Every structure is written in C-alpha cells, then in structure tokens.
Homo-oligomer: A and B are copies of this chain.
Amino acid sequence: MEHTTAILLEVFVIFIAAQIGGELARLIRLPGVVGEIVAGCVVGPSVLGWIAPSEPLEVLSEIGVVLLLFSVGLENRVEDLKRVGGSAFAVGVLGVAIPFVFGTLWAHSIGPSWPHSLFVAAAFVATSAGITASVLKQLGALQRIESRVILGAAVIDDILAMLLLGMVVALQAGGQVRVGDLLVVLVEAIGFVIVIGWVGVRVMRRSSAWLDWPADPLSPLALVLTMCLGLAWLATRFGLAAIIGAFLAGMIASETRQHKQLEQQMRPLLALLTPFFFVLTGAKVQLAQLASGAALGLLATATLLALLTKLAGGWLGALKLGPRSALTVGVGMMPRGEVGVVIASLGLAAHVFSERMYAVIVAMSLLTSVIAPPLLAALLRHGEETAELESRDSEPS
C-alpha cells in the first residue's frame, strides 16, 4: 500500500510534466511529443530524479503506446495500406538494410568485434512507430499517402528488425545462425499479419452489428479494446512488437460502422495514457554517462548516422511518390524511440554494450525522436499540395 502511494506520486509527476512539456513545445510551434520526451528527461533520474522507470510505469507506458497504435489503425483501412504496398515494402526493406550496413561499419571502426558491431547496428535499425504516428495523428495527416507508406513500412520494419535481432543475438552468443529457424520465424510473423488482417477485416465487415448486442452503451468500445489487448499480446507471441498487433486490431475495427464513435471515445484514453509512454522514453536517458567530450562526439556521430541512413532508406524506397513525399517518408522513419532503448538494454544485459555505449545508444534514440517530429511537421504543413487520397470523412457514416 505504501508502495502504491509512492507510485501515485510518480504517476502525478509524469502526467503534469507531460502537460507542461507538451504545452511549452506547442508554444514554440514544436509537436507536443517533443516537449513530453524532454519533460521526461527533466523529471527523470538524470536531472531532478522525481521519477524512475519501474515495472508499473513500464506497463502504463506499454498500454499507452498500444492504445496509440490502435487508434492510428482505427483511422486506416487495410485497402488503403494495400494500395501503397509496393512503396511501403521498399521503404521497410531499405530502411532496415542501409542503417544496418552503415551501423555495422561504424561500430566496427570504433572498436567492437564484428559480432558485437552487428548488435550495435541492430539498435540503428528499428523505427519507433509510436513517435511518428503521434505526430501524424496530431496534425490530422493520417489520411495522407506518405502516412500510409510510413505505417505500412513500420510493419515491415518491425518484422525485419525482429529477424535481425534474433540473428545478432545468436551470433553474439557464439551460436550459429540457422537459416531454417529464421525462415520459420519469418513465415510465422508474416503469416500472423496476413491472417489477422485478412480474416479480421472480412469478419468485421460482415458483422459489426454484434458489437451492439450487449446491454451496455459503451460495449462496442469494450469489445474492440478486448480485441486490441488480445492481438497486442498475440503479436508478442509471434515475436513482433505489441504495437503491431494493436495497429492490426485498429485496422480491423476501422471496418465497423461504429468506427467514428470509437475514434471519439479513444481520445480521452490517449490523453490519459500516452503521456506515460513519452515521458518514460525521455526518463531513460543517462546524462551523467555523456558528460565527456569523447562521449558527446560518439553521440553526435551515432545520431547523424542514424538520421541519415534512415532518411536515405525511406527516401530511396518512396522515390516514386515524388521527391518531396519521399523526403517526408524518410523523415517519418527517423525516430528510434523506445525500440532503440530496448535493444540497448538487451545489449547491456548481454555485456555487449559498455555503460557508455548503452548511454550513447539510448541518447541517440531520444535525439532522433526529438529531431524528427518538428521536421516532419514542417514538411507536412508546407506540403499541402502533395497528392492526397480522398478523406474518409467524406463517406456517409
């Protein structure tokens, strides 16, 4: 009970820090998430020490980002994503391959053995869909073709990143990479996405009436939230991130005739829970480890490398949408967010990363998450002339 009381204070601090950080960021025309991440860094162990990442807070943060990706899925139909499938695939593959190759070369050049360098490079690979999705959502830009390419690519990206991580962990542990095992993992993950997407959408289109049968007026929401939590968990069983399952659940729910009402009802949930995700992401940075010229130099190089390689991958993959849209997609793929942090934690636990390398990778993940949103917002605000698919709002609801 004592402990729950202490957590209640941290919950309050996180929530108020997010409000203040978000509001200050908006005052200087930056996306709110940037302010929330920076606020997390300020109230976290590095500066004020008012909060420290702990399991209950991690769970709140995880639920927050799961709900965020669910509501992003809710504004996207599978049909719309399929139409940009080719570009999304190219962006996903190139956005993994280029950072991985250059990340490995860079890591090896500063010391680590090849297997360790591959592990470091893995932290350069995975895009954090949460950060970008939040910016796209706040700007009301989820219907744009660039947004769809980014979201589709994030799914491909997550599948490839998972494979890569499996391979890298096996190599680092001195084991052999079994191509057969990797193939099974790959087929399972792709199978999960296709089966859930295909079956879910078909079932939902035919029968969204049953969402209304229970007596409770909030039951469509309760039922789709059940599906969201269930698919989020199931995705992790297939080696994917929970948010991929939540995103699929959202796309399935977007086929219901209650989808507008659901979007409305998701808003208070996001207002309460997403701040935990952004603030906790920021709280993980360890400024003390970075307080040397050498560390800062390393951080600057790593961040630049992370930004440029992802930009290149996204840009090349989306070139057929035109150079401006390709640039938007590239920038949208930049944030590493919590994914970089997770891989860095694995590396630290496996004694592959030094404390300093861990701090550098975490700080790089946060910097990319803070640098990309304003660029993305600027590109989207000034790029209203780019191709836009017809808005879902014009449909009869």
A contact residues vs B (CB 8 Å cutoff) = 1, 3-5, 7-9, 11-12, 15-16, 19, 22-23, 26, 32, 55-56, 58-60, 62-63, 66, 214-216, 218-219, 221-223, 225-226, 229-230, 232-233, 236, 242, 265-269, 271-272, 342, 345-346
Contact = CB atoms under 8 A, between A and B. Distances in A.
B268 A7 contact: no
Contact of A230 (B4, B16, B269): B16
A271 B222 contact: yes
B268 A26 contact: no
A1 B345 contact: yes
4 shortest interchain CB distances as A-B pairs: A56-B59, A12-B229, A265-B268, A56-B56
A235 B154 CA distance: 44
Given A5-B242, A15-B226, A226-B16, A268 B218 contact: yes
A260 to B, nearest CB: 14
Q: How many copies does the complex hold?
A: 2
Contacts of A267: 218, 265, 268
A117 to B, nearest CB: 23
Contact of A62 (B4, B15, B218, B222): B4
B59 A226 contact: no
A216 B24 CA distance: 12
Nearest to A230: B12
Given A22-B216, A59-B59, A216-B22, A5 B268 contact: no
A32 B3 CA distance: 30
A271 B221 contact: yes
26 contacts: A1-B342, A4-B55, A4-B58, A5-B233, A8-B62, A8-B66, A8-B232, A8-B236, A9-B233, A11-B59, A11-B233, A12-B230, A23-B216, A26-B214, A26-B215, A26-B216, A32-B216, A55-B55, A56-B59, A218-B267, A221-B268, A265-B267, A266-B268, A268-B268, A269-B269, A269-B272
